[in-house]
Structure 1
Amino acid sequence: MSVQERKERERAVRERLILATARELAEQQGWDAVTTRRLAERIEYSQPVLYSHFRGKREIIGAVALEGATEMAAAVRAATSAADGPRERVAALARAYLDYAADNPAVYDAIFQLDGGLAFAHEDTPEPLKDAFAALLENLQEVAGDGVHPGVFTEVFWATLHGLATLTRSGRLPSEYAEQRVELLVDRLAAL
């Protein structure tokens, strides 16, 4: 292995450490607790080393969001691949999405609530965000209904899931009705 390859590998390891530490800190204490100073202390590198990877917290949030979008897409695809039939796929998609949001609240916030400098629904939208939307679209396009654009239907379904995720997490919707909400969403919104 050349010196250059070793340096690149070490840099990639440091970057993964920074992101893993940021995620851990955000999940434990919230994104307000994630500062470059605290990250540098936790990873035992200087702040200039951290800044050599990311220009600041906004870029870190963006990188965490991209990781999260990739994970969410994988979770949706794994859940829907085991389902039989369109209704079961849509219900599995909804559950996987809501479970991901509940299990990874800080990452979910990085994807959808915080400013990570990422563009949604634009030409320059990063691939992980496009792929997360594609994971939803793949399973929803067949249930969009006649005359309904599959992309628009996916946006509405996604917005509904996002609302359920954020309102449940904030305590505005009682969690004991979560499954009933999923069933209602699937039965009323998906043209099956």
Structure 2
Amino acid sequence: MASKDRILRLKEETRVNILDAALDIVKEEGWQALSMRKIADKIEYTAPIIYEYFANKEAILLELTRQGYLKLGKELQAAKDAHDTPAAQLEAMWLTYWNFAFANRELYQGMFGITTSCACKMVNELPEAELPWDIITEPIGKLMQIEDMDSEIICTKYYTFWSIVHGLVSINLLDRGDSDAINRQVLRDAITGIILSITPVTV
């Protein structure tokens, strides 16, 4: 049993090493430079060993994407749990989303196909890709006083938020934005404006 556990542990360590090496290459040279051969060279494995764990580099991208969504989901949930009101939760979560994108620049690019050849259908089928939606739509529904979480209105408002935030992130990931201070102000203005627009008016 101890020997079997050791083999499983070594296999998992090898898998992690492959993913870590892939992300290191991307950080150093960009997604376009990633190849199975480069990964093998970096960790001093033979290419066939890499293929035992991942069929191709798209499979590695998919796994890194899955891990990226898990990490983003964890950070969004923490931001949500730190606040009591739906409006405060939404502001905190979208700011957290922004911070995640720039703290994990290469990972975010892979998750959303920015500068990569995204296998979008496979990414969309990842259960983890639903985490931002699952976490963020609840306070949208609460703020708008809508109980049906499958409501088209909630869906529309989620994508209104996401389109603005992701669009601003994408512009800046491509180094086409303004200063960080200006971008953060634009981000806050946009988030606050949407929150105000979906907050029921009390008489």
Deviations 1:96-154 (A, max 9, x none): 1011111111100111113246242xxxx222112232122233332357786212321
The offset of 1:2, in angstroms, is 4.4
What is the aligned counterpart of 2:183 among 178, 183, 192?
Answer: 178
TM-score normalised by the chain length of structure 2? 0.83
Q: Structure 1: how far apart are the matches of 2:162 and 2:145?
A: 16
Q: Which runs of 4+ in 1 moved over 3 A?
A: 2-5, 143-148
2:64 matched residue in structure 1: 64
Tell me if 1:150 matches 2:162: no
Tell me if 1:161 matches 2:165: yes
Higher relative contact order (CA 8 A, sep 6+): 1
Q: Structure 1: how far apart are the matches of 2:83 and 2:127?
A: 26
**Paired residues for 1:84-163 under 5 Å:** 84-113=84-113, 114=116, 115-116=118-119, 118-120=122-124, 125-144=125-144, 149-163=153-167
Give the gaps of 5 or more residues in structure 2: none
TM-score normalised by the chain length of structure 1? 0.88
Local SS of the residue matching 1:149: helix
- The percent of aligned pairs where both chains have the same amino acid is 21
Distance 1:103 1:185, change over 3 A: same
Distance 1:22 1:144, change over 3 A: farther
Verify the 8 A CA contact 1:58 1:116 in the aligned structure 2. Answer: yes
Q: Structure 2: how far apart are the matches of 1:87 and 1:9?
A: 44
Distance 1:16 1:116, change over 3 A: farther
Q: Structure 1: how far apart are the matches of 2:187 and 2:39?
A: 38
Larger Rg: 2
Distance 1:142 1:173, change over 3 A: farther
Give the gaps of 5 or more residues in structure 1: none
Verify the 8 A CA contact 1:65 1:116 in the aligned structure 2. Answer: no
User: How many residue pairs align between the two structures?
Assistant: 188
